[in-house]
A and B are shown apart, each in its own frame.
Chain A
Amino acid sequence: MTAGIRDVNAFDDLPPVRPAPTLAAMLARDPLAVGACLWLLVVATALLAGQTFLADDAVRINLVARNLAPFQFDANWLNWLGTDSLGRSLVARLSAGAGTALAIAFAAVGASLILGTGLGLVAGYFGGFAGNLILRIADMILGFPTLLLALVVLYIFGPNIFNLIVVLAVTRVPAYIRVTNAEVIEIRERLFVDAARALGAGHARIVFAHILPIVAPTLLTLASLNLAMVMLIEAGLSFLGLGIQPPSISWGLMVAQGRSHLAQAWWLTCMPGLAIMLTTMAFNLIANWYRIAGDPQQRWRLAGSEASK
């Protein structure tokens, strides 16, 4: 059936196929990403425990064991990370707070990621009046101090978790719009997008099959950084009494509550602070790993040693 074609199979000199590394294999080649995964596993376990058998311990007052310092491993394991001024176990409180902290952070970041990416795609891909409008609104939100906006809104509508998530999401949306818009404008003009259009691809296919996968790693990195920012803003709002309301527990609220005891009991602030830091770092490392693992041209860096001759 290939009659009439000259020099068929003239090309057989490509180096042998390197077996495409599996995700697990690529993960194993990046120790930092492995560490990040292990930490997230710890957080997930704590989160589950905090919602179940540690839920009571988190609020059990024990005046005998007030302000116990951490790392006293001969004591009850619940007190290994210390206790607060009412003798409540920090292990239990951190576990219980993980749920609220992560739920708020994920909901806010997820909502802003989806909304911002969507609007950014529209603005970058279609442009025009709608695109300009989106960008101007994004600029307006960016120009407004986040904390001030949050204060006003939460003061007016009341400080509950839903309002908190909405406020945090809205203030983070412009970053995604800006980044997505800029990248889409560049990718939209690439030749392979024209190639897809010439094949008859519709807008949906071009956006979701060709443009979004290339923008995604950048957006995920941004989202991982935003997780930290959102948790810290939540801490600030809680400190001002407009965030999570006691007796609910959250890492941000714990940081805020601990501040007044900083001189006597540093662990009350530092432990939840550390939890926030490690968790966001873990997401960041995984986002970085994904940036390489998801790119066929970079993937070889995470392939086995025989490929990196």
Chain B
Amino acid sequence: MAIGPIPVGNAGPLLDVRNLVKHFPGRRRGLFGAPSAIRAVDDVGFTLSRGETLGVVGESGSGKTTLARTLLRLHPATSGQAFFDGEDILTADPAALKRLRRRMQVVFQDPYLAFNPRFTIGETIAEAWRIHFDALPRSQWAKRIGELLEQVGLRADYAGRHPHEFSGGQRQRVGIARALALEPDLVICDEPVSALDVSVQAQVVNLLVDIQKMRKLSLIFVAHDLAVVRHISTRVAVMYLGKIVEIGPTDAVFERANHPYTQALLSAVPVPDPRGREQRRRIVLQGDPPNPASPPSGCRFRTRCWKAQDICAREEPALLDRRGTGTLSRCLFPEAGPTTRLPHGQLTRGQE
């Protein structure tokens, strides 16, 4: 695989992640044993174009949040590269990193913890310009704070309020305003709506979609809620135990899933429509995901997979486009036919 940075300019992808690995030190085995590494993210690679929204889905322990935090360099990567417009985020020196962060922002999951309780929301937003002092002259701060608040559907005169005065959905809007303050090219959203009620969640999702379109932002949208991801993403990556097991255009992944795990995940999501539920067949995976400190050999999904054969234990499948549909998957026995539910919720294929 070519390692050199890709050419700068609008031609290449905005973000090019290659072989990203993040291990956390695990528990030491015995008094003298070497500590086992928890392979939270293991050999992850993808690209993200300008204006594209990549959804990253997975269950707890899949490494999706670690991936987001590693890309933001909130903790160091173990190895790999992540080129943002040709510059490697993971090895950038402090000055370069600060430059990169100006173009790469984040919205966190928990709107109650993501704000300094002592700052007003105006101060919270202005912190971006305080850090990047050449971003906006101080005389324009107040005006710009008002504009940003209005853009996310809050009143400009709320700037003097503290976070505890707002509801969860409103705080998440402030979080989006903060992320937009530096006019970034990329916003990484780590479970931005999973702490919110359904009716409020829809407001925040719509807001993200609108802002993404208006500003031609690239979004990485990390979530466990597949329905939200389907709604917002142009491409989807499915993670299992630190690996991307399937990545491709949203509709292709949701309607013609290659990987058995993706199928199981999709079929597990309850559809808010009771019609035909007695006939509906779903793939119910047995057991729990294995411990990420000692993942299975070969294919990591084989311990819960109903198609697993001997070769799956020996050989780790590469991430390849196995059916020419533009969807890459890590499975030696990918599904051939469509796997989605029919409009009334029946699953065309299911577990026997």
Task: Give the residue of B108, B211, B214 whose beta carbon is less than 8 angstroms from that of A194.
Answer: B108
Docked complex: A1-47 residues within 8 A CB-CB of B: 1-12, 14, 17, 20
The answer to the question of A114 belonging to the interface, with a C-beta cut-off of 8 Å to chain B, is: no
Q: How large is the interface on A (under 10, 10 to 19, 20 to 34, 35 or more residues)?
A: 35 or more
Contact A200 B210 (CB under 8 A): no
CB of A190 within 8 A of chain B? Answer: yes
| A192, B109: Cα distance in complex, Å | 11
- How far apart are B139's CB and chain A's nearest CB, in angstroms? 19
Contacts of A194 in B (CB 8 A): 69, 74, 106, 108
Verify if A210 is at the interface (C-beta below 8 Å from B).
Answer: yes
Are A195's CB and B178's CB within 8 A? yes
**Which stretch, B10-18, B94-102, B261-269, touches the partner chain A?**
B94-102
Contact status A191-B158, CB under 8 Å: no
Please indicate which of the listed interface residues B114, B127, B155 has the most CB atoms of chain A within 10 Å of its own CB. Answer: B127
Chain B residues within 8 Å of chain A by Cβ, number: 50
Contact with A along B239-277 (1 / 0, CB 8 A): 000000000000000000000000000000000000000
B131 partner, pick from A2, A6, A17, A205, beta carbons under 8 A: A205
Q: Which of B120, B153, B155, B182 contacts A199 (CB 8 A)?
A: B182
Instruction: Let me know if B114 and A195 touch, CB within 8 A.
Output: yes
Q: Is the CB of A198 within 8 A of B170?
A: no
For residue A130, CB closer than 8 A to chain B, the reply is no
Confirm or deny: A201 has a beta carbon within 8 angstroms of a beta carbon on chain B: yes
Measured between beta carbons, the chain A residues less than 8 angstroms from B66 are none
Enumerate A99-156 residues with CB–CB distance to B below 8 Å.
none
- Give chain A interface residues in 199-223, CB to chain B under 8 Å: 199-202, 205, 209-210, 213-214
Chain A residue contacts of B211, Cβ below 8 A: 5
Of A1, A191, A195, the most chain B CB neighbours within 10 A belong to: A195
Once the chains are docked, how many angstroms separate the CA of A296 from the CA of B118? 6
A60 at the interface (CB under 8 A from B): no
- Produce 1/0 per residue, A278-296, CB < 8 A to B: 0000000000000000111
- How far apart are the CA atoms of A17 and B127 in the complex, in Å? 23
B151 and A5 form a contact (CB under 8 A): yes
Do A11 and B115 have beta carbons less than 8 Å apart? Answer: no
Known: A6-B210, A192-B114. A297 touches B162 (CB 8 A): yes
Offer 7 A-B interface pairs, CB within 8 angstroms, sorted by A: A5-B207, A11-B173, A192-B113, A194-B108, A195-B114, A209-B127, A295-B117
Task: Pick the 6 closest A-B CB pairs, nearest first.
Answer: A200-B101, A191-B113, A296-B162, A200-B98, A198-B106, A192-B116
Interface residues in chain B, defined as those with a beta carbon under 8 Å from any beta carbon in chain A: 69, 72, 74, 94, 97-98, 101-102, 105-106, 108, 110, 113-118, 120, 127-128, 130-132, 147, 150-155, 157-158, 160-162, 164-166, 170, 173, 178, 182, 203, 206-207, 210-211, 213-214
